[in-house]
Amino acid sequence: MLPYIARRLLQMVPILLAVAALIFLLFSVIPGTFASSMGDDGRTVVDAQVMERMNQELGLNDPLPIRFGKYVAQLATFDLGTSFRSRQPVSQVIADRLWPSFQLAMAAMLFAMVIGVPLGFAAAIKPGSLFDSVAIMLAVSGLSLPKFWLGLLLMYLFALKLGWFPSFGYGDGSLRYLVLPAVALGVSPLALLARTSRAAVLEVLHADFIRTARAKGAGNIRVMRWHVARNAFVIILTTLGLQFGSILGQAVVVEKLFSWPGLGSLLVDSVTLRDIPVVQGCILTIVLLFLVINIIVDVLCAAIDPRIKYS
């Protein structure tokens, strides 16, 4: 197992490097600069000389190959550079946002699992039944709503009308603040999980070893509980791992709406105001998170299902 993990970790390196190069090149041709973003609210006239100096100070006047060289050299020492806006190391800027981001993503996944998986299981018991159709239809409905609209509807209903949760922000970091954004973010993975777990259960129920177990006289409930659950969980975990990427992506919208201080809102701000080092750092961090989570998922799968072997 350990060599396998080591190999997987090593495989991340070329991907991260490719991502770094790709986003560097993409953002080197973006129109507008950080200096020009300083005047975007039309409030003050930003002096042309100052803007020029700012570009100089930030190294934006260097030719592209030199900038790229510097960037690679920085990355080689695990340095993500300095934020144009805050003048702090990018690693610090990102570290400040990592925990809220992680909290939100985990809460969304948890919500999706706690509701989605049982829903899928229940639907699979009697495939084709009314309950099955309604359950899946409901789950898919959640998936079909634009995230910011859903978020707004949740805000109106649960914060304004019912007053159950605060409508925005991170507050003191307590759970109450987490609920609404997590639900808004968790609805799509919930639908996919419900669908996947339903399909997984159906597939496993028809597999040979279940028939064997039944033939051996194991009762329905026992069959559901042990064999089905274990096998289905492998599939569910894998789905969840892949869904983690889209959760990190959708978080951009949800964090922006709920003023949640995570990586997503940081990324949007930094793109809008052309704080390129932070954009690069954010995307690299998101990719890294996604890759690591998927390694963990694969390892967990192997632990749950002894038939999965990694060499």
Tokens of 279: 């954009």
Site stretch for another protein (CB under 8 A), options 62-70, 74-82, 149-157, 220-228: 149-157
In this chain, which of 184, 291, 297, 298 binds another protein, going by CB under 8 A? 291
Tally Cβ neighbours within 10 Å of residue 189.
26
**Residue 257 touches another protein, criterion: CB under 8 A:** yes
Tokens of 253: 């919208």
Site stretch for another protein (CB under 8 A), options 17-25, 62-70, 104-112, 211-219: 17-25
Give the end-to-end CA distance of the chain in Å, rounded to a whole number: 8
- Cα R_g (the chain), whole angstroms: 24
- Whole-number Å distance between alpha carbons of 183 and 263: 18
**Residue 42 touches another protein, criterion: CB under 8 A:** yes
Asked whether 204 and 232 are in contact (CB, 8 A), the reply is: yes
By residue count, the chain amounts to 311
Closest contact distance (angstroms) between CB of 240 and another protein is: 12
**Residue 295 touches another protein, criterion: CB under 8 A:** no
Residue 111 or 258: which CB sits closer to another protein?
A: 258
Residue 107 or 291: which CB sits closer to another protein?
A: 291
Using DSSP, state whether 89 is helix, strand or coil.
Answer: strand
**Residue 146 touches another protein, criterion: CB under 8 A:** yes
CB within 8 A of 72, min separation 6: which ones?
Answer: 20
Total H helices, total E strands in the chain: 13, 0
Asked whether 123 and 274 are in contact (CB, 8 A), the reply is: no
Q: Which of residues 185-204 bind another protein (CB under 8 A)?
A: 195-196, 199-200, 203
**DSSP H or E run through 38:** none
**Residue 49 touches another protein, criterion: CB under 8 A:** yes
Site stretch for another protein (CB under 8 A), options 69-77, 80-88, 108-116, 219-227: 80-88
Tokens of 1: 């197992």
**Residue 310 touches another protein, criterion: CB under 8 A:** no
Closest contact distance (angstroms) between CB of 306 and another protein is: 17
Site stretch for another protein (CB under 8 A), options 2-10, 55-63, 109-117, 215-223: 55-63
Q: Which residue has the tokens 């809460």?
A: 107
Site stretch for another protein (CB under 8 A), options 67-75, 102-110, 116-124, 144-152: 144-152
**Residue 32 touches another protein, criterion: CB under 8 A:** yes
**Residue 167 touches another protein, criterion: CB under 8 A:** yes
In this chain, which of 61, 129, 212, 259 binds another protein, going by CB under 8 A? 259
Asked whether 254 and 101 are in contact (CB, 8 A), the reply is: no
* Chain centroid offset of residue 264 CA: 9
**Residue 168 touches another protein, criterion: CB under 8 A:** yes
Build a one-symbol-per-residue string for 96-135: x at contacts with another protein by CB under 8 A, - elsewhere: xx--x---------------------------x----x--
Q: Residue 23 is which amino acid?
A: I
**Residue 76 touches another protein, criterion: CB under 8 A:** no
In this chain, which of 18, 72, 73, 114 binds another protein, going by CB under 8 A? 18
What are the phi and psi torsion angles at 42 (to 5°)?
65, 10
Using DSSP, state whether 82 is helix, strand or coil.
Answer: strand
